[in-house]
Amino acid sequence: MEAGVIISDLIEIKDMVFYRGERVIFNGLCMSVAENAVTSIIGPSGTGKTTLLRLIGGQLVPASGTVRVMGENVSKLSRAGLFELRKKMGLLFQSSALFTDLTVYENVAFSLRVHTDLSDSLIHNLVLMKLNSVGLRGARDLMPSQLSGGMARRIALARAIAMDPALIMYDEPFTGQDPIAMGVVVSLIRALNDALSMTSLLVSHDIYETMSISDKIYILSDGVAIASGSPEELQANQTEKVVQFLNGLPDGPVPFHYPADEFVNDILGATH
Amino acid sequence: MIRLLRILGQIALGRFAQIGRASIMWGSALNSLPKTSDARLFIDQIYVIGVKSLILIVMSAFSIGAVLALQFYTQLVRFGAEEAVGVGVAMVLLRELGPVVTALLFAGRAGSAITAEIGLMNATDQLSSMEMMGVDPLKRIVAPRLWAGFFCLPMLAIIFSAVGIWSSGLVGVDWLGIESVGFWAGMLDTVELWEDIGKGIVKTLVFALIVTWIAVFQGYDSEPTSEGISSATTRTVIFSSVAVLTLDFFLTLVMYGDF
Ligand SMILES: Nc1ncnc2c1ncn2[C@@H]1O[C@H](COP(=O)(O)OP(=O)(O)OP(=O)(O)O)[C@@H](O)[C@H]1O
Ligand SMILES: [Mg+2]
């Protein structure tokens, strides 16, 4: 152990299996997320990255295997215990999922109002600080329906970090951001992680940005992690699948297509 | 034949599962007493569910009261018993039409709105994101609506009957010229506090419970798609109406029956 730094795992996933109907989404997934680090998950669309975040948040239950978050086995927790645990988590939804009946300001203030006894003036300061960090302090009085897609994502980001959670999960935070906002969000994620000693789990398709801020990256495909490591390690990895994915090549072992019949059969109407 | 049985069996199982889920939802939403900090949510819902239904309830009650007065009058005047119009209208409204028609209108006005609202929150991940923020949507969204519906529908039914009786008075006494004393005194003498008013209120309490429960559950359990929400809204109105009309028969049988 170097200089008394204790690096422990905030999330531990072991042999986790999960089905959607008949379809297996995770087939014995193992991964761990170290405390205080930025860990990223990349992988083809539809492999189950969003599903994984919901499993960690306890909204879905694995068929077998365990998901441990902050030492707790998520699927064994009582309803009340689960809600207690979630107070320490933040999740930026892929769909933003802002509360449409509340203003931008009230959206960000929501969990502060529910979970804390802070005075209105303190909440006011906190909310404006969070909005300022995503560059949208001026949008506080707008309703979610008046926001652009990229703005809505940044508001959702501000809302997810409102409570300064110990664990923050971002589901594609970069989508719809212009280059400037993108740069801001990228450095914000890293800065929050370091300044507030959060643990961050990031799902993204933007390989370059992800590489630039991650301590560790997992590549998911076919229900398992096909590779993991620091950005440098992955770049040095010569496995066919990893090379294909990192370079965005359409042909290779990682399938681009959702499982289907041979295209020719489909076109010729050769149905079963 | 076996296919048919299997399909019927699946439908029945699906329904049972749905009733089970509905019970769980209800239990988890109401298993703890509401906190005082939730009072605001409850009051907001009273406004949305109750106050906003007022105009519809008052207008419907007004015309139903007037129509009842006309119909009773045309029959009773032949026997020279037109003073009994007041009693007749009051009985019909307090015992049957007040509770039943209010519940039906409520299902169409407020019930469908509740279903659509919760269904859309579900479809747009708002309920999920609330859960992930450590706030239980059953407590925050479902419970206040259940309480508010349970509270508002009986109020609305009382208002319905009162307005109906008042408008029957306008038609009967002020327009058709029924003797005012006979009309009102006859009504007051005959209507009994428990038999007519009390049992009517018992009915509305039962209807309130069932209609809000159906509305909230259909929204909460809806498919997260546009078709899902639209069919959930339709189901709310259909299930509530059938439930209210069926329950009304049995409640009448049990409470007034002497058969
Ligand atoms: N509610 C659902 N019912 C059935 N199948 C689902 C459901 N939600 C997702 N799936 C399936 O689970 C798989 C994983 O979905 P998920 O949303 O986790 O993918 P993802 O990796 O987040 O993709 P993307 O990068 O496009 O966001 C998909 O193939 C999808 O078809
Ligand atoms: Mg996703």
Number of domains in chain B: 1
- Confidence (pLDDT) at B226: 94
pLDDT (tens digit, 9 = 90+) per residue, A37-56? 999 999 888 999 999 999 99
- Confidence (pLDDT) at A3: 44
- Confidence (pLDDT) at B12: 84
What ipTM score was computed for the predicted complex, to two decimals? 0.85
Q: Which two tokens stand for residue A67?
A: 């998901």
- Confidence (pLDDT) at A196: 87
Among A56, A72, A86, pick the best mutation site for testing chain B contact (most B Cβ within 10 A).
Answer: A86
Residue A121, Cβ neighbours under 10 Å: how many? 8
Is residue B183 within 8 Å of residue B86, measured between CB atoms?
Answer: yes
Helix (H, G, I), strand (E, B) or coil at B124: coil
This prediction has a pTM of 0.88
Q: How far is CA A104 from CA A97, A159, A181, B70, in A?
A: 12, 9, 18, 55
Roughly how many angstroms between the first and final C-alpha of chain A, as a whole number? 60
Place of tokens 């639209």: B230
B126·A100 Cβ contact <8 A: yes
Alpha helices in chain A (DSSP H): 49-56, 79-86, 104-115, 120-133, 149-160, 179-195, 207-213, 231-236, 240-247, 263-267
- Confidence (pLDDT) at B168: 95
> Which domain range does residue B161 map to?
2-256
Arithmetic mean of pLDDT, A140-159: 94
Arithmetic mean of pLDDT, A107-134: 94
DSSP state of B17: H
Q: How far apart are CA B98 and CA B201, in angstroms?
A: 9
Question: What share of chain A has pLDDT > 90, as a percent?
Answer: 68
Arithmetic mean of pLDDT, A243-255: 74
How many Cα atoms within 13 Å fall on the side-chain side of residue A68? 15
Q: Cβ(A96) to ligand 1 under 6 A?
A: no
Is residue B133 within 8 Å of residue B236, measured between CB atoms?
Answer: no
Question: What share of chain B has pLDDT > 90, as a percent?
Answer: 75
- The residue ranking higher by pLDDT, B122 or B23, is B122
pLDDT at A271 over 60: no
Place of tokens 């109401």: B30
- Confidence (pLDDT) at A4: 44
- The residue ranking higher by pLDDT, A249 or A102, is A102
| Cβ of residue B63 closer than 8 Å to a chain A Cβ | no
User: Residue B196's closest CA among B102, B64, B105, B96?
Assistant: B96
Q: Which of A112-126, A247-261, B108-122, B192-206 has the lowest mean pLDDT?
A: A247-261
A95·B125 Cβ contact <8 A: yes
- Confidence (pLDDT) at A266: 77
pLDDT, averaged across chain A: 89
A to B CB pairs, distance under 8 Å? 57
Q: How far apart are CA B190 and CA B119, in angstroms?
A: 47
pLDDT (tens digit, 9 = 90+) per residue, B41-88? 899 999 999 999 999 999 999 999 999 999 999 999 999 888 899 999
User: Residue B109's closest CA among B251, B241, B245?
Assistant: B241
**Would you place residue A253 in the very low, low, confident or very high pLDDT band (cuts 50, 70, 90)?**
low
Question: What share of chain A has pLDDT > 70, as a percent?
Answer: 93
Strand A167-171 versus strand A23-34 pairing type? unpaired
Strand A216-221 versus strand A224-229 pairing type? antiparallel
DSSP state of B225: S
